[in-house]
Amino acid sequence: MTITAGIDVGTGAVKAVLYEIVDGTAKRLAESLYRIRQRDPMQLAAEAYDTCLEKAGLTRDDVAYVATTGEGETIPFATGHFYSMTTHARGAIEMEPEARAVLDVGALHGRAIVIDERGKVLNYKMTSQCASGSGQFLENIARYLGIAQDEIGTLSQQADDPEKVSGICAVLAETDVINMVSRGITAPNILKGIHLSMAGRLVKLLKAIGAGNGSVVMVTGGLALDGGLVAALSEDAKEQNVEVIFRSDPDSPYAGAMGAAIWGAFRHEKLAKLGQLAMAS
């Protein structure tokens, strides 16, 4: 039995998970998610990790491999670090073995990844530096509209006449939204318009890397739980003739941390075979 931890330091939140691996089968023991507001992400990572250990009744000494991902390279107690694309791909396969593409939509950017059945990254494309199409942008708009984040998806799906916003620039999009508010456009129609605009950009990424032919796309990252966005993705894919099936999971925000923990277990075993076991401090 091997205990491994995965810690994903994202732009909007830190996620940690704890896994027990027995004969190649991974069982999740605990998870925790801390939003990054004005707190030090490194401190939050330690807290998220310790929370998991506490939930599972374990100590740091019980953990064979602490794997970090995202912006977690500098976490001092990590055994190894994996690039976020690698971990989201593995996390997606863990949640949905049929997935052959991943759409990772986080606070900062969106990324489309084509994977094989082992979770190996075959191709990818991500949004440019512009913030439109990111969770941070959506969060800002919700704040302007006075809407709680968990209401966004439900309201968006109530839209009857969505107004599309600029898909190029977050600044222009915010101006669009201000104009819509002054024109009396309802919040559901505004939110759905934003979702469709984001979906347009994300589906283009999938198209660019050759996702299609009815393949399953696992949506990961913080926005995977936004039902409005997932619905808009399906609508836009149909419009752009991209044949994919979008799936999301309550664990989607943890995909990176899950993938890190599972790859950590793989590395632990490999290093043990090579006699080069790295010791978690």
Side chain identity, residue 155 = L
CA angle 222, 226, 231 (to 5 degrees): 130
For other proteins, the closer of residues 241 and 281 by Cβ is 281
For other proteins, the closer of residues 116 and 239 by Cβ is 116
DSSP SS3 for 78: coil
User: CA-CA distance, 177 to 197, in Å (whole number)?
Assistant: 12
Structure tokens at 124: 């990818």
The answer to the question of residue 117 lying near other proteins (CB under 8 A) is: no
Candidate segments 135-143, 182-190, 242-250, 271-279, binder of other proteins by CB under 8 A: 271-279
The answer to the question of residue 263 lying near other proteins (CB under 8 A) is: yes
Residue 207 Cβ, how far from other proteins at the closest point, in Å?
Answer: 22
The answer to the question of residue 278 lying near other proteins (CB under 8 A) is: yes
The answer to the question of residue 63 lying near other proteins (CB under 8 A) is: no
| # residues near other proteins by CB under 8 A | 25
For other proteins, the closer of residues 121 and 181 by Cβ is 121
For other proteins, the closer of residues 76 and 146 by Cβ is 76
User: CA-CA distance, 197 to 192, in Å (whole number)?
Assistant: 8
Residue by residue, what is the 3-state secondary structure of 151-186? HHHHHHCCCCCCCCCCCCCHHHHHHHHHHHHHCCCC
**Contact indicator for 124, 240 with CB cutoff of 8 Å:** no
For other proteins, the closer of residues 93 and 230 by Cβ is 93
The answer to the question of residue 1 lying near other proteins (CB under 8 A) is: no
Sign of CA dihedral 3, 88, 69, 13: negative
User: CA-CA distance, 198 to 201, in Å (whole number)?
Assistant: 5
Residue 118 Cβ, how far from other proteins at the closest point, in Å?
Answer: 9
Q: How many Cβ atoms from other residues are within 10 Å of residue 204's Cβ? A: 17
Q: For residue 276, give Cα distances in angstroms to 66, 67, 267.
A: 16, 16, 10
Candidate segments 1-9, 92-100, 165-173, 272-280, binder of other proteins by CB under 8 A: 272-280
Structure tokens at 165: 């916003």
For other proteins, the closer of residues 133 and 259 by Cβ is 259
The answer to the question of residue 21 lying near other proteins (CB under 8 A) is: no
Residue 90 Cβ, how far from other proteins at the closest point, in Å?
Answer: 9
For other proteins, the closer of residues 124 and 137 by Cβ is 124
Fill in the per-residue mask, 68 to 87: x = in contact with other proteins (CB under 8 A), - = not in contact: -----xx-xxxxxxxx-xx-
Residues 199-258 that bind other proteins (CB under 8 A): none
Residue 214 Cβ, how far from other proteins at the closest point, in Å?
Answer: 27
The answer to the question of residue 275 lying near other proteins (CB under 8 A) is: no
For residues 151-179, one letter each, b for 16 or more C-beta atoms within 10 angstroms of the residue's C-beta and e for the rest, the string is ebbebbbebeebbebbbeebeebbebbee
Interface ranges with other proteins (CB under 8 A): 65, 73-74, 76-83, 85-86, 120-121, 263, 266-267, 270-271, 274, 278-281
